[in-house]
Amino acid sequence: MQMIYAASQGVPRPLNHICNQALHDAAPKGHDVIEESHIGRVLADMERQRGTAG
């Protein structure tokens, strides 16, 4: 939850986007629980899309 809050600053729309993407990351793998690794992949992908990741 800390990772999500830090990335979204508590703003509802970005927060919902991160959570929705984490669900899309977990579902095809058959995971019932969203884990830190799912959030990490989502945030890394968002950074790559913005061009801020190496």
Q: What is the pLDDT of residues 1-54, one digit of tens each?
A: 999 999 999 999 999 999 999 999 999 999 999 999 999 999 999 999 988 655
The model's pTM is 0.84
pLDDT computed for residue 5 by the predictor: 96
CA distance 13 to 36: 20
pLDDT of residue 54: 54
- Give me 29's structure tokens: 């793998």
What is the rounded CA–CA span in Å between residue 41 and residue 53?
12
